[in-house]
Structure 1
Amino acid sequence: MKTLRVTLITTTLLTGAVTAGSTLQASPWSWEKAPGKSLTLMGPSGVVCRLNFDASEPKPYIHPLNTSDGRGLTWLSPPDHPWHWGLWFSWKYINHVNFWEFQRDTGEIAGRTTIRNAKIVQADRKAGVVRMTLEYAPREHEGKPWMRETRTIRIGTPRPDGSYRIDWAMACTALQDLEFGRNPNPGRGYGCFSYRGAKDFVPVTLQDAEGRTDGEIHGKRAPWAVAAGAVDGREAAVAIFDHPSNPGHPTRWFVINRALGHGPFTYLNPALLYAQDRSLKAGETMTLTYGVLVVPHEADTERLEAEFAEFALKKE
């Protein structure tokens, strides 16, 4: 199996540790709360991670997603695909209505994702947690929404080596019969939970749990995959975990890793709809859970396997 090396950072995470003089030390991590708009994890180097959930936004997303020492890992609305939102979730089609792209000239999306009742329910030394309700319907639709979703996003504070994990849990209830569609062209079944790598996150290698890299991953099944490379001349990695309870686990992956004229196109997607559309009858609920591990150094397979095993025990 191909291996990505690991170099652990031995800095101390001061989350209530007692010194020899029995003085309680303050945590280096804090939260900036903007009720109804965002929750931001802050550290000694500035912003670590910001979850955006303003109702005026097309959908919730995380940007910036940084290493714990402040190096950027996400690209928000790049020129080639301005509907890429850093780290985000979006359906491609629901009942043949496009919820993914917007019109470049108007900014309008045919399928509307409405953010309701977003609340910060935890922001302490362990984690920040936001719960929200999302409603899905065509943009001009005035009646009952087609689907209602409850979403819980937990951002853990960094560990002693500087890594941290985000857990993203969704429960989607159909209010009428629904069909979740994809791009029908062979090998083009992208969508749902997605990561777009930062312009300065280069060069990057993609690797999955089976040791495949870059294009070898595309369309193959694996419980996790990772984007690993350099930011500001130092290593970093973003791994995505597909929970064993998700439909079709282990998921197929849609990946892109190539250079474009304006920068890299690094895209990592546990593609729920890669090979087929899915349907949900009125009253049925589909649950989806993903994990994201952010590492401010090189990450090896053994470390990622251990992290995935711990994540797989999560029952949300």
Structure 2
Amino acid sequence: MAVILLSLFSGITQAQNKAKNSVQLVRKDGEKKVEVLIDGKLFTSYYYPESLAKPVLYPIISAGGHEITRGYPLAPRAGERVDHPHHVGHWMNYGDVNGLDFWNNSDAIPADQKSKYGTIVHTGILEAKETPKGAELEIGMDWVRPDGKILLKEKTRFVFSSEGEKRSITRITTLTAQDLSVSMKDNKEGVFAIRVARELEHPSNKPEIFTDANGIPTTVASLNNEGVSGKYRSSAGKEGDEVWGTRGTWVTLNGQIGSETITVAIVDHPSNPGYPTYWHARGYGLFSANPLGQKELSGGKDVLDFKLQPGESVTFKYEILVISGYQPNDQEMNKEALKFGNWR
């Protein structure tokens, strides 16, 4: 009897350990989203309503239960910024694709200006599966001109995982040019981005004005800095606002939300064009890796002007880490980058 009970207890313990950090995908087609749950609680959602100019991951939630993404414009929260309505959760696009701006498109663009902007359209869920190490979601999307012509077909695989207080999102995106050549001229607006919560912004003491590729200015106001604690650090040792326009294999954004210490990191992959990437990381909460906008971000020192011929493809690989409870040091982040660099 003792042996039977011990065996039964052992089986229960193993099942409990297996369940901890388990990742589950829940399709909600009617709501245009796929929820990603960790231990039964929401981590993020792949969200693709027609009202957005591109599919996004929104929100992204830490192990401690705090949203690390800004609520506006989908679910505004008191005290947060309401600039740049195209900054929603996590997204991936670019500011100049055959002269069209995919980055800045949103429902705030006037109808008479829409001809300057492109849209990324969700075309289908290709695969959704849960594995012993997490969950994988493969999606099809089209990069579309205002006249409906498809410039790029996108296939993206998201890999979601959880280990203790560390959560990760790996994104592998392949873009394939269709029957036209595709030019992605150097532009600061891109590529792999997160708009973070107010608490993770840099404290600010003055309003600033930022101008997009179409010459449209956006004012970012100075706000109350209570509870605002974010600070960037790059693999090159740059910190704060000095990270913008520099290269690095990874950047961390360290801060505090309530009593939870949080690090949000983006890690580049050695196979990506323009590796190591330039960083379009702003203190007001835009956290972006931009390997394609080299001329704009380097002050003219480097030029890429990336192109794809009809039928040609390019693949981008990035990782987002959301770490709760501590801030990894440079050595730990270099290990994370090395591990991700071995991803195939």
Q: TM-score, normalised by structure 1?
A: 0.81
CA offsets, 1:137-194, max 9 Å, x none? 21223x4x111111111111x212x1021110011111111111354xxxxx131101
Residue 51, structure 1, aligned to residue 46, structure 2 = yes
The match for 2:15 among 3, 17, 25 is 25
For 2:242 and 2:169, the matched residues in 1 are separated by 26
CA offsets, 1:208-235, max 9 Å, x none? 0122101221211111101110011321
Relative to 1, partners in 2 of residues 1:295 and 1:303: Cα closer, same or farther, differing over 3 Å? same
Q: Give the alignment's Cα RMSD to 1 decimal.
A: 2.3
The match for 1:117 among 104, 113, 124 is 124
8 Å Cα contact 1:116-1:133 kept in structure 2: yes
What SS does structure 2 have at the residue aligned with 1:222? Answer: coil
Cα deviation for residue 247 of structure 1 reads: 0.7
What SS does structure 2 have at the residue aligned with 1:308? Answer: helix
What SS does structure 2 have at the residue aligned with 1:255? Answer: coil
Partner of 2:309: 281
Among the aligned pairs, what percent are the same residue? 21
Q: Which has the higher helix share?
A: 2
Cα deviation for residue 300 of structure 1 reads: 1.6
User: 52-61 vs 269-278, which deviates more?
Assistant: 52-61
For 1:61 and 1:291, the matched residues in 2 are separated by 15
Residue 95, structure 1, aligned to residue 123, structure 2 = no
For 1:248 and 1:19, the matched residues in 2 are separated by 54
What SS does structure 1 have at the residue aligned with 2:15? Answer: coil
Residue 80, structure 1, aligned to residue 83, structure 2 = yes
Relative to 1, partners in 2 of residues 1:150 and 1:21: Cα closer, same or farther, differing over 3 Å? closer
Q: Which has the higher strand share?
A: 1
Cα deviation for residue 94 of structure 1 reads: 1.0
* Structure 2 unmatched ranges of 5 or more: 1-6, 74-80, 201-227, 296-304
CA offsets, 1:243-278, max 9 Å, x none? 000011011111111xxxxxxx12221112222432
Partner of 1:4: none
8 Å Cα contact 1:35-1:120 kept in structure 2: no
Amino acid at match of 1:307: E
The match for 2:160 among 130, 143, 155 is 155
Relative to 1, partners in 2 of residues 1:167 and 1:43: Cα closer, same or farther, differing over 3 Å? closer
Q: When the two structures are aligned, how many residues end up with a matched partner? A: 282
For 2:193 and 2:53, the matched residues in 1 are separated by 15
Amino acid at match of 1:69: G
Bigger RCO of structures 1 and 2 (CA < 8 A, at least 6 apart): 1
* Structure 1 unmatched ranges of 5 or more: 1-17, 184-188, 258-264
Relative to 1, partners in 2 of residues 1:171 and 1:59: Cα closer, same or farther, differing over 3 Å? same
Partner of 1:312: 341
For 1:35 and 1:63, the matched residues in 2 are separated by 14
The match for 1:135 among 134, 139, 142 is 142
For 1:279 and 1:172, the matched residues in 2 are separated by 11
Partner of 1:193: 192
